[in-house]
Every structure is written in C-alpha cells, then in structure tokens.
Structure 1
Amino acid sequence: MTTPDARAADAGPTALPAHALVGYLHSSFANGSGYTRLADVPDSWDVIDLAFGEPTSPTSGDIRFSLCPRSECPNVESEAEFKAAIKAKQAAGKKVLISIGGQNGQVQLTTAAARDTFVSSVSAIIDTYGLDGLDIDFEGHSLSLDADDTDFKNPKTPQIVHLISAVKTLKAKYGAGFTLTMAPETFFVQLGHQYYGTGKWGGQDPRAGAYLPVIHALRDELTLLHVQDYNSGPIMGLDGQYHSMGGADFHIAMTDMLLTGFPVAGDANNVFPALPPEKVAIGMPASTNAGNGHVPTAEVNKTLDCLTKGTDCGSYKPHGTWPALRGLMTWSINWDRHNNEEFSKNFDAYFG
C-alpha cells in the first residue's frame, strides 16, 4: 500500500480528474439494487465511497465497518479480495473512501472522548483497508445547533466543534493526499440561507444549516462538497424564490448558492463565502428507485450546460459560469448498474 506521504505529491482537488464522477457503493448491506463487488465497479467512477461506516452508538464516536454478510449478499467478496480490489482501483487512479453515517448511522461527537474515539476508529478503518480518505455523510440528527450557537464562523455546539477538530486531526495525520468529501442534505446547507439553527426567537429546527460551520471551518482541508440535491423539500434560492426537485432548475439554483456564496439566515452582513468550483460536485439520484428527485439525463445535461457554459439556463439565471465545476455525485453505483448504467454513461459522454 502506498503511504499517505507518498500520495501527498498529487494532493487535494488536483488529484482528481478535471471532471470527476463520485458514487456510493453499498458495501456493508444489500437492497433492491443488488450487491456489486468492488472489483466489478466500472471505470467511470473516479471516487468510490464505501457505504457505510457506522457508530456502535450515536454518541460513542466508535465507527465500525464490515463487508455485507454472506447471508444478505451471497456474492460478497472475501476481505482479501476486497483489499486487492482497493489497490487495483487506486493503481487505476481512483480514490476509495470510507463514508461515515448514511441514513441509519447517527454520529454525535458530544464529548472530547467521543472525538478521540472517532479519530482512532476511523484511522483503524483507513489503515486496515489502505483507503484514500473520508466522506462525511451525516444525516438525520447527527448535527444540530445549540440555541445560543448563532454564528457559523465561530461555532460552539460541542458536536460541531468536536467533529471539526476530529477531521482536522485526521487530515494532519495523513497529510495533503488525504481526500475529504462531504455529502450533506440541502436542509443542512442551502436551507441555512433562510434559517440557521433555532433562530433569533427560537422555535426553528436546530438542524437547519447545521453543516455550514463544518464546511466553513474545513474549507481548506475539503477536497469535494457534494450536497444531496434529492429527498429535499422546496428551498429558497438567491433569487428569493422557492425551488423544488424534479428538473435542472433545482440543481442550478442550489449549486449557484455554493459557487456564489449566500447570506445566512437572511443576514446580508453574515455571508457564507463561495466555494471554488473545483471543490463542488452536484449530488443526484442515479435512478427513480434511488431517491426522490431523480431527473432525466436531458435535465442533468441542462444543469451542466448552464453552470459550466452559461447556456440552457431556463428561468433561473446563475451568478456566473464555472467551467471548472468538478462533476457529479450519485446515490449510487449499485442503483446505476441496476439502471443499465444510464447515469455514468451519460456523464462519460458529456465530458468526453
């Protein structure tokens, strides 16, 4: 296995292709899409997120990962085959990450002890499998803001502060070649334009915008942010209008917010700064089975045309054109294979 220091030379976003395709691989469970061995993942995928590492309890910080049990996935590979497949993918220039969380893996680092356990347990997974880094896919109730925590630039909620500290420690441990990605839901990011935490007068959902302090504190360490533009309610864009899933408009509006920056909780004096396009990908479901908000390939391409070329933008006009937009993320590699690889084949055709 290549040491992290040896990988550091091709560090950060430059280690990825100019336009990258990111996908989640159901490695620890099966569902209707079927189990896919890592060795059988098509070459289209540049970043492969192993789903999922999950905690022993929500507040333990103790993350565990194991391959799908044979009773659930009869065609699961052996540990040795899995490790060999990781090396082969890396030799082909791919990044293989452990994704922490998911729908069922609630992670709340409420204490310093949980933070330290998180660092040691995630390190153990990375070292055991020789992985390139970490994807933070915290959903549900993993992140929420204390009532007095109102400034995303200076968070004080323990579970937020400890997560930032833990990730900075991991990045420092593995060096510049450590790949760090995040897959928050719109509720935790773009909704923060309108609502942040419980709000000035209380009563709001404390999870609203709760990823913003994490993204902001780690923006230098971050390789890629790919917000899940799916399973989302309507979200207000920079045009003051609500945007709903189902077409290019939603993806354009949501991504424009990340690439332009936006006032948090409507405060023009408190702006979440724009992320560089090289650090942004757009999260979409691979098929109608994979999640609410799937759009046809024509709408995927309209989204990319608008954001990277400034053409075919429809009713929403973004605040710039970003040819360096990194690419797309999808849930999931398995659902894409189940759907005749429509999503990945379209990506390959679009970017040549």
Structure 2
Amino acid sequence: MHPHSPSRAVRSARMVAAALLLMLFPALAAAADRGAWAPGVAYVVGDIASYGGKGYDCRQSHTSLVGWEPPNVLALWLERTGNPPADTQAPTAPTGLGAPSKTFDSVSLTWGASSDNVGVTGYEVFVNASATASATSASASATVTGLAANTTYTFTVKARDAAGNRSAASAAFSTTTPTRPLPDTQAPTAPGSLRSTGVTSSSVALAFNASSDNVAVTGYEIFVNGATTPATTSTTLSATVTGLSANTTYTFTAKARDAAGNRSSASNSIAATTSNTAPQGSKVLVGYWHNFDNGSTNIRLRDISSKFNVIQVAFAEPVAGAGSGTMGFTPYNATVAEFKSDIAALKAQGRKVLISLGGANGTIHLDDAAAKQNFVTSMQGLINTYGFDGLDLDLEGASLALNGGDTDFRNPTTPRIQNLIAGTRQLLNANGSGFLLTMAPETAYVQGGYAAYGGPWGAYLPVIYALRDRLTYLHVQHYNTGTVTALDGRAYAQSTPDFHVAMAEMLLQGFPVGGNASAVFPALEPAQVIIGLPSSPQAAGGGYTTPANVQKALDYLMKGQSFGGTYVLRKAGGYPGFKGLMTWSINWDKFTHFEFSNSHRAYLDTYP
C-alpha cells in the first residue's frame, strides 16, 4: 500500500476466484525460465519470467491475465536479486534524433524510441563522437548541459537494456548553440492589489495582480509576518498559506521573481485573521503522513491540513531484521523534541495521531515469544516517547501469511498471526480504552479471503476477528489491486464506484471465507469501516478515483442513492453510519493542492 518509492511501490493484486484456485492446486509442470512475461500463460512456483528489463521469480502458481504484470502483483512475483535470464540481444538504434529547443549552454534532444526483446531501460547521449556518454535518460528525450555558446555540436544516441546490451548509434545530428544573452539584472514590478479571498481555521487564500518583467515573470512568493523566507510560492495570481493557527491575525506581502533570480519589491501589506476551528460532522478523514521523501512534498506534522481528523504517522519499522520484533522510529526533517511538539499541537486541536507499523518495506515477523515481547516493549517505548493516541497495523507483502493447515480464521494456528494478535492486545490493554486501533490491509488479505483462504489470501481476517472488540477503523486499501470478486459473484476493477461499494459491503454484510458457508466472517459495524484511497494519481500505481466517482459510491453506500452501476447493495437503504475515507497520503494531497482533502471534507461535512 504505502511504498517508500517515489510513487509508493505497487502492491499484490487481488485474484478472481478461478485464478485463486490455481494457488491451491498448482500446475505440475516443472519450474523453468519462461522468457518474457505474457498473459494467458500458466506459471508455477519457481518459474522465471522477464518484464521491463528485470527478472522475476513466480511466488504463487497462477495463469496470468492482462493487468497482472510482475511489478503490479507482488503477491505473485518477486523481483530477482540475482542476475535476470541471459539476454544477448541489443536494442534497435534510436531514430529521428532532433533538437526541439536549445539555449546558449544546453541542447534538448528527442528521438524515436528503440525496441528490444526484453525491454529498453535507457538511452545514452554522445557528443562529438566521444566514447563517454554526456547524458543518460530513461525516456526518449534528454538535455545536454554545460555546452559552450555559439558552438556546433554533433550528437548520437544509443539504447541499452538491463543486460548491458547497447544498440548501434542513431544517425548523427548537428546543431549550433545560440550566442550567450546579456545578463538579466532587471527585477519585475511589484505585484499589485494583494488581497485575501477567504480564510479557514488554518489557512488564508490570497490573490494579487500580475507583475511585469523585461523577460518574463516566473512566479510569486508570499511572505508572512515580515519573514525573509517565503511561506509559499505560486506560478499563478493566487496562493494559499496553510498551517496557520486558528483565530489569529497574520500580515502578508507578495514578491514576483524572474528566471534570473531577480525579485521585485514587496506588494502592499494586508492583514487577515483565521477563523475559529470549524466543527465537523460525524464522518472522519484519515490521512497517512510519511516520514520520508518520496518525491511528493515535505510537510511538517504540525502543518497538516485541519481537514484531517486522524493522522497516521508512517512508519515504525523493525530495526534489527524482520524477525527481531524490535521496532524503531526516527522523525524526518525534525528533531525528537520538535516532533513531540508537533504531535502535541495536533492533539490540542482534538485530532488523533497514531503510529503506523510496517508499510511496503517494513516487513514484521513475530514468529516466537521473544519477538512478540520485543515488539511490545519497543512499541510501548515509542508510544510513551511521542504520546501517540493509537496503533495502526499496515502489514503488507510477506508480513502476514497463513501456514499450511491453518484453515479456521476464528482459531488461527500460524505463530506469526497468533503473536501479532497477542502483542497488539497487550498494547491495547496497557494503554487503556481510549487507545485507538486501526488497520490498513490490502484487499487480497481481506476480501480476497472470500474466494480462497490460505497463504496471503484472507491472512488479515483472523487478526481483525480477534481484535474486533477494540478495532476503531478498518480502512482496506482500495488501490494497487487487480479485480476482486464481490458478494454477487462478479469481479470488479479498482478506480470505479462499483468497486468501492462492493468491497465496502463485503465488510458490512460479512462473507463466507473460502466459499465455506459454515465459516462466515461476521459483519463489522458501519462506524468501523472506512474506504482507503490514493489522494492523487502519483500516490499509487493504480486505483486513483476522481472525487466525483468516490462521492457517487458514498452516496450509494450511505444513502442508498444509486448511480446506476452494476453492483446492487444488499441493504437497499445503505449504511448511514459508514464512517468515511482514508488516504495515502497527506503529502501527496498537498502536492496536488489539496484536491482530496478539500473536496472530500466538504462532502463528508454535509452529513451530521
């Protein structure tokens, strides 16, 4: 669900029933190097396939489908740590090399993509027949910098694949850089008519008139209370300063800047006062704030939008290997004292701050009593140090799996699952009835247990069942998933209102586990169920759903107001007590100018 990679590395796919049965009855064919991955192929455990220039080992026997490419279904494929299958075929040479733009010291190049029997992994750009590449690129474009003005250069490009094979050179292309321009020392004019266009309890929206410049204005900076560092920047004629305190007066100015770094004088100064903290309805918005830089946005914990009720701090991870049980957490871009102060500030606003365990890279194995005790001791230390309000179990990948013969979710026999339940229960008891427990499983580990129960499929069900009396929210990740079979026997695909309604109602109605009518996972209370979503297309490999389609699903779930989809609610009137939405992540939400939190907070607040 929640990767440490720039867009949060993709998770295991959810299997339709027929494919899930293949896991339980694998093909008898011997494992082999199967070459390039393709749909419609029966793979068995141990098979090797190549995709995108990388090699993958088959983890679960299955017949492949479109959408189940190895990097998208980590439950089925594991990227090889050794060498991929031998590849000696070079890519084709790039074609159509040209320069759509250039400056006095750089040339931007584009070319036609090469092809390869496995996959092109990148390109190398050579200047004036040099043996050493001057630039590399993963796509069919690159910019060569550090050139001399008014000079002719000749470029060629070669493609390469993961095995190190390089193509022949493209046809040579020559171009001359322009003469160096005179330095730009003229600053833009000051922005005019700075004004406030709206306030909330934690933000002030501003607008201003455009500046002019002898070359071009490239952006604007907003300053608060005379600070020398801008509070925010904008490339348009408006900006919103966030992270402010409620019922407080702030003074703002704006400056324009150009590409040469020249800044205008300050605009007129204005004062604006934030509102008191607005009351919110009964629905909650849960957001993950990640403790690492993955290319989204770095944001101080105290500056999180007031629209989030529950903040999941991601992640606490094992510090001495997956099986040690000893957990650690180090604040990012803040000292321990600053981070504790930020948590205290959020709690003073009536919000809950939880510590989330695991994530895509934080594999946790509590295989014995010693690991369980290390887990309890180290987690209690983190809770005491930072004052967390609760615990979130975000265990993914190999963290949870059912051992062979573990067939009853009500009485699990897998030590890893037994110890997780016991350790979590110990922490809940030690921290009192007000201590929150949330979980963020992938669909394969919950709804996937409807079609098959074993291995990863349904592996979260015994944990949820055993701790349901203390479970505050279950927000299954409705993303980075393949199709999943719902209560009506149909398979639904992510990113659609049908998928969100169908997956949520499985938890609200209960379902027979592994198709066994005598082993029904009981329904959760509507107030315990939340839908988990990516806040932007960049936040996950798949599953982003537009706010309009999310709200269609919620109208149906909470009001019984149909949008005309395929899935039909078992409870025609809906579930008014359904609790809300979760997102990965708060950081990506800020990156996309708060589209998720602004639209969905306003929608959720229409409910009492």
* Identity across matched positions, percent: 50
Higher relative strand content:
2
Structure 2 Cα separation of the partners of residues 286 and 139 of structure 1: 19
Secondary structure at 2:476's aligned position in 1? Answer: strand
Pair 1:351-2:604 in alignment: yes
Structure 1 Cα separation of the partners of residues 570 and 596 of structure 2: 27
Q: Which amino acid aligns with 1:318?
A: L
Contact 1:118/1:166 (8 A) holds in 2: yes
Structure 1 length-normalised TM: 0.90
Give the total of aligned pairs: 321
Contact 1:26/1:36 (8 A) holds in 2: no
Contact 2:558/2:575 (8 A) holds in 1: yes
Bigger radius of gyration among the two:
2
1:30 aligned to 286, 290, 293, which one? 293
Paired residues for 1:1-352 under 5 Å: 18-27=282-291, 29-56=292-319, 57-68=321-332, 76-197=333-454, 206-291=455-540, 292-313=542-563, 314-320=565-571, 321-352=574-605
**Can you list the C-alpha shifts for 1:180-212, whole angstroms capped at 9, x where unaligned?**
000000010000000100xxxxxxxx1111000
Higher relative helix content:
1
Structure 1 Cα separation of the partners of residues 549 and 587 of structure 2: 21
Q: What residue in structure 2 maps to residue 73 of structure 1?
A: none
State the shift of 1:329 in Å: 0.3
Secondary structure at 1:53's aligned position in 2? Answer: strand
State the shift of 1:79 in Å: 2.1
Structure 1 Cα separation of the partners of residues 433 and 294 of structure 2: 36
**Can you list the C-alpha shifts for 1:38-73, whole angstroms capped at 9, x where unaligned?**
0110101111011100002111111100012xxxxx
State the shift of 1:78 in Å: 2.6
Q: Which amino acid aligns with 1:26?
A: H
State the shift of 1:346 in Å: 1.1
Once the two structures are overlaid, the 10-residue window that deviates more, 39-48 or 77-86, is 77-86
Structure 2 Cα separation of the partners of residues 177 and 17 of structure 1: 20
Contact 2:389/2:436 (8 A) holds in 1: yes
Q: What residue in structure 2 maps to residue 7 of structure 1?
A: none
Q: Which amino acid aligns with 2:497?
A: A
**Can you list the C-alpha shifts for 1:233-263, whole angstroms capped at 9, x where unaligned?**
1110000000111211111110010001001
Which sections of structure 2, spanning at least 5 residues, go unmatched?
1-279
Contact 1:287/1:294 (8 A) holds in 2: yes
CA RMSD of aligned residues (A): 1.0
**Can you list the C-alpha shifts for 1:91-132, whole angstroms capped at 9, x where unaligned?**
111110110000000001000110011011111111100110
Give the direction of change, closer, same or farther, for the CA distance of 1:244–1:104 in structure 2 (3 Å limit): same
Q: Which amino acid aligns with 1:257?
A: M
Q: Which amino acid aligns with 1:18?
A: S
Give the direction of change, closer, same or farther, for the CA distance of 1:225–1:17 in structure 2 (3 Å limit): farther
Q: What residue in structure 1 maps to residue 161 of structure 2?
A: none
Contact 2:436/2:472 (8 A) holds in 1: yes
Structure 2 Cα separation of the partners of residues 322 and 289 of structure 1: 31
Secondary structure at 1:270's aligned position in 2? Answer: strand
**Can you list the C-alpha shifts for 1:12-38, whole angstroms capped at 9, x where unaligned?**
xxxx962100000012x1111021100
Q: Which amino acid aligns with 1:156?
A: T
Q: Which amino acid aligns with 1:119?
A: V
Which sections of structure 1, spanning at least 5 residues, go unmatched?
1-15, 69-75, 198-205
Instruction: Extract structure 1 runs of 4+ deviating beyond 6 A.
Output: none
Structure 2 Cα separation of the partners of residues 264 and 176 of structure 1: 30
Structure 2 Cα separation of the partners of residues 322 and 194 of structure 1: 25
Structure 1 Cα separation of the partners of residues 512 and 322 of structure 2: 32
Secondary structure at 2:527's aligned position in 1? Answer: helix
Structure 1 Cα separation of the partners of residues 395 and 334 of structure 2: 27
Contact 1:58/1:107 (8 A) holds in 2: yes
Q: Which amino acid aligns with 2:551?
A: N
Give the direction of change, closer, same or farther, for the CA distance of 1:219–1:181 in structure 2 (3 Å limit): same
Once the two structures are overlaid, the 10-residue window that deviates more, 78-87 or 225-234, is 78-87
Structure 2 length-normalised TM: 0.52
State the shift of 1:318 in Å: 1.5
Secondary structure at 1:232's aligned position in 2? Answer: coil
Q: Which amino acid aligns with 2:560?
A: G
Structure 2 Cα separation of the partners of residues 18 and 121 of structure 1: 34
Structure 1 Cα separation of the partners of residues 418 and 281 of structure 2: 32
State the shift of 1:77 in Å: 2.7
